[in-house]
Structure 1
């Protein structure tokens, strides 16, 4: 199925469709072949939205109706009219919402809450969602999806924001309750993963309310992880930073190395293809580089403005950008105030309103000054729906996973993706994974994750519906050619922890060596792997009641013994417990949400 017919033949109902997120959602679905039923309280802007969509996508059908979602009668009438018009309903996006004017001001303090503002916001943001789900669920087709737009404010408390926060918490709770009642294929809050069914016992599902979950069915409009991954690169300079380099010199920073990295890491299963217009030169941005405030902590809106300006400038100069999976925006080296290289999921359009891409990465000075081509692999990893494995809140970058995955440390000596994520991406096959569920002792022969040789790439020990322990072999092969230590790495995976909060924790098999002490530049957990350098090594992970031991092997791989449950703790002939190294995480992964959710990573 192509990009343009993903929803062909489907009918989707959308509230708040006249502008903003609702209109963008409608535009995206239209570009993928869906017919639409649009609802909004604003008649004139709703008509404009309908006309705009039909002018761009002539092969679909669009029905519209003015609806105040606070009215159960109006919502019921709209849903019935939708089914009467199309004969079916395959999905819904309940986007309509309002933001109280008091947010962020003293009027937003709890003690100053306006009853009228409370009633108005509650009526649209929560009661409106309830009305929509009530009537949508009565007619929606099987194996369908309903998306309710919530907010990070629906997960955490915000000062001077009590009204909006309460309504969005309500949307999350209402959605969770409905999901349990009806078990739709994908009843979920916006930007969070849908429900699904694993095809193997160790393939843990993503909870519906965890952004960037490590679960197998997590999706946030992920780009293809196997086959062809299309991209387009544009180059920009600024009135205060005119380029004195060439587009070819910037292209060469990333390619072909980034392409080769994915080719090697995926065992040939992912082909990154890059289109660009080197001869077109640099597109001149409309504002000075300094004015974009392009540094860590910038808002999502600021990044959207920057990328859209780049797209518009490129169109003015070159005239076209193809529809691709990922769009790359590269700034001249002279623009030192474009300090870093973030990515984001957002639907960008060309000047005519046609959709170009849903994933974007913008590259700044740190690409040239420090990271090199690997920053493109890291940011494209986000487009593949891989989360950040370093602490987004700040602190020691290597705290969670050391230097064992480029989603944690981009330029570490062992940058290959963890076997768990390669399994999720479809790079590691089912027959390359051993799943351990029962208590007892098992033995396994591991082939290094970075090697393209056949064999078992991961032993996954299931602990619960949301947690597993993983053992994998690492060596100085493939993209890990500069690895400082070969051996068996042991780490935990928790699908209930969101991006940048410690969803993967590497257990240090050598906690008393100097290179594993925090604060030692570049070496945190770099020797965490169990090795045979000093004889057989073992690690007991108390939280999982599992012991993993690396043993001598007659073959080229790494042999391990896994003891789970009672057999993980051994006794001598007198019944005394044998002394073993009990290893706990060097840090505790929190399950709570951060106070401030980063908008771009």
Structure 2
């Protein structure tokens, strides 16, 4: 079987956690004067919602404004782009099918029904006026409003091509074949650069897709790339804030609506996906170019600025190729990159436990902390342990089915989802209806910017590669920026080769057996915190005891 390069090379940790953490699986921690054991949370969950810093991507709670809503109905305008030197060889329907309905189903399952993600595709390839090579698209290339080429030129050309298609009566007409039934699609090639005269003054963070393993030499890594500084625009041209209800279109297998070019209103959508022709640029196994520009308005249009834009290049191999879009849209939801882009060799960070680090290979879910950040876990499912004492918690597996969280529950229409009372500590709005009550996340603040998180991961629909079920312990540092290790999983078996029967190059092997099992104890001497896994039942629920000095 051909080896598919991974997101990053798996490099053993050189003691990056050892300075602060130590653990002794199977050994009890003796602390003097242990008080009575308290069952469950000892404080309101919001007391453990550690904030981040600034408007950019971070793991802090709440998520800054400007990103896409994460609950209720979310609309994703989806456009298709090819180039004169890379004409699409497939239909736009075939390209869409690489990602949908799988992406919508992923978000529905991971959010326990809180997120109703609906694509709004405009079928027909939008031909760019320049060859692909002319734009200078490469790994590490960001967006700058003053650029004559790059993503600034490309986005202006996309908007201009869409306007031409609208003026020509949409995608139908004489031109290239673009549909399975042979319906021709208008060739939108036209002279001129199509750029607006007044680019938006604010530049968003540029988020590159992780590079395949062994491909870091050709990339500067995933860096924050900005143009002019500024804050998110307020008023009518600003992206809709988290919690605003998106339109609720019907059709498209119940997950969206097909649009004509003339129907496009950028202000009516929460994010924009640009799916390029798969043959434009290098194959993903050689170099990953997919990138997102989230959080701030980009170039202006007649119906509002582009915002929360993700570009998907090439096609990912394997049976879950849609997860590249899940990863990129994760940035539109305010999630940071969890893989390493800093100096030096990459330490072991979160591995395959979150799609924001590894999104190739077998399916994987999203960390419980990030689910809470997005409002997919409610406060009633989060136990908070902010002070001294001994607490005991029974934690339900993250992938276990949960109560429906979105509208449509208890007679509440889906269109109303996202407009309910706020989810305490998360900064996003709660959808009316049923919420979960089982504990799925235990949080132990270690300082103003750090928190220890406990969750249970077992083999499930989205966690198909879990080979050692148990309690996953992670250290979250909300002041660490995207790409510099904001989350680091604590390995219960440091130095091991992992537990996968058939090793997968897309799964960091050393962290595949990271969860703690009954009898294992984790101890942070510096913070005075110990976590002992005391029991597990047949349904995967694990009992943990947290002791704080």
Q: Could you state the TM-score of these two structures normalised by the residue count of structure 2?
A: 0.61
Tell whether 2:471 aligns with 1:471.
no
Q: 1:243 aligns with which of 71, 88, 91?
A: 88
How far 1:215 moved relative to its partner?
1.7
Q: Deviations over 1:534-578 (max 9, x none)?
A: xx2222233432222222245634333334334xxxxxxxxxxxx
2:396 touches 2:542 (CA, 8 Å); kept in 1? no
Equivalent position SS for 1:514: coil
2:456 touches 2:542 (CA, 8 Å); kept in 1? no
How far 1:217 moved relative to its partner?
2.3
Aligned to 1:441: 390
Equivalent position SS for 2:384: strand
Tell whether 2:178 aligns with 1:330.
no
Aligned to 2:32: none
Q: 2:376 aligns with which of 427, 430, 453?
A: 427
How far 1:441 moved relative to its partner?
1.9
Aligned to 1:215: 60
Gaps of 5+ in 2: 1-43, 145-149, 171-260, 403-435
How far 1:391 moved relative to its partner?
1.1
Equivalent position SS for 1:480: coil
Judged with a 3 Å threshold, the aligned counterparts in structure 2 of structure 1 residues 228 and 437 are, in CA distance, closer, same or farther, namely same
Tell whether 2:256 aligns with 1:307.
no
Q: 1:531 aligns with which of 505, 509, 517?
A: 517
CA distance in 2: counterparts of 1:242 and 1:450, whole angstroms: 41
CA distance in 2: counterparts of 1:467 and 1:514, whole angstroms: 29
Equivalent position SS for 1:300: coil
Judged with a 3 Å threshold, the aligned counterparts in structure 2 of structure 1 residues 393 and 462 are, in CA distance, closer, same or farther, namely closer
Considering Cα pairs closer than 8 Å and 6+ residues apart, tell me whether 1 or 2 has the greater RCO.
Answer: 2
How far 1:334 moved relative to its partner?
2.0
Aligned to 1:347: 297
**Structure 1 stretch 507-516 or stretch 400-409: which is displaced more?**
507-516
Judged with a 3 Å threshold, the aligned counterparts in structure 2 of structure 1 residues 258 and 554 are, in CA distance, closer, same or farther, namely closer
2:59 touches 2:336 (CA, 8 Å); kept in 1? yes
How far 1:371 moved relative to its partner?
6.8
Judged with a 3 Å threshold, the aligned counterparts in structure 2 of structure 1 residues 397 and 221 are, in CA distance, closer, same or farther, namely farther
Equivalent position SS for 1:540: strand
Aligned to 2:532: 549
Judged with a 3 Å threshold, the aligned counterparts in structure 2 of structure 1 residues 541 and 558 are, in CA distance, closer, same or farther, namely farther
Aligned to 1:362: 311
1:459 touches 1:472 (CA, 8 Å); kept in 2? yes
Q: Deviations over 1:281-338 (max 9, x none)?
A: 2111011011222221113232232222222212212343222111111111221348
How far 1:348 moved relative to its partner?
4.2
Q: Deviations over 1:95-150 (max 9, x none)?
A: xxxxxxxxxxxxxxxxxxxxxxxxxxxxxxxxxxxxxxxxxxxxxxxxxxxxxxxx
1:359 touches 1:383 (CA, 8 Å); kept in 2? yes
2:300 touches 2:306 (CA, 8 Å); kept in 1? no
Aligned to 1:272: 117
CA distance in 2: counterparts of 1:403 and 1:395, whole angstroms: 21
Q: Could you state the TM-score of these two structures normalised by the residue count of structure 1?
A: 0.56
How far 1:483 moved relative to its partner?
2.2
Equivalent position SS for 1:259: helix
Aligned to 1:408: 357
How many residue pairs get matched?
362
Judged with a 3 Å threshold, the aligned counterparts in structure 2 of structure 1 residues 368 and 525 are, in CA distance, closer, same or farther, namely closer
Equivalent position SS for 2:58: coil
Tell whether 2:542 aligns with 1:559.
yes
Aligned to 1:373: 322
2:497 touches 2:510 (CA, 8 Å); kept in 1? no
CA distance in 2: counterparts of 1:543 and 1:377, whole angstroms: 37
Judged with a 3 Å threshold, the aligned counterparts in structure 2 of structure 1 residues 261 and 370 are, in CA distance, closer, same or farther, namely closer
Q: Deviations over 1:30-79 (max 9, x none)?
A: xxxxxxxxxxxxxxxxxxxxxxxxxxxxxxxxxxxxxxxxxxxxxxxxxx
Aligned to 1:253: 98
Larger-gyration structure (1/2): 1
How far 1:399 moved relative to its partner?
2.4
Q: 1:391 aligns with which of 323, 340, 343?
A: 340
CA RMSD after TM alignment: 2.7
2:394 touches 2:544 (CA, 8 Å); kept in 1? no
Equivalent position SS for 1:241: coil
Aligned to 1:513: 496
Structure number with higher helix proportion: 1
CA distance in 1: counterparts of 2:371 and 2:459, whole angstroms: 18
Equivalent position SS for 1:478: coil
2:457 touches 2:471 (CA, 8 Å); kept in 1? yes
Matches within 5 A, 1:186-201: 200-201=46-47
Gaps of 5+ in 1: 1-197, 567-601
CA distance in 1: counterparts of 2:46 and 2:300, whole angstroms: 42
Judged with a 3 Å threshold, the aligned counterparts in structure 2 of structure 1 residues 437 and 286 are, in CA distance, closer, same or farther, namely same
Aligned to 2:445: 462
Q: Deviations over 1:346-405 (max 9, x none)?
A: 5245654x3153110011014468971001111111011011111123766672111100
How far 1:492 moved relative to its partner?
0.8
Aligned to 1:286: 129
Equivalent position SS for 2:98: helix
Aligned to 2:466: 483
Equivalent position SS for 2:164: helix
1:258 touches 1:376 (CA, 8 Å); kept in 2? yes
2:63 touches 2:373 (CA, 8 Å); kept in 1? no
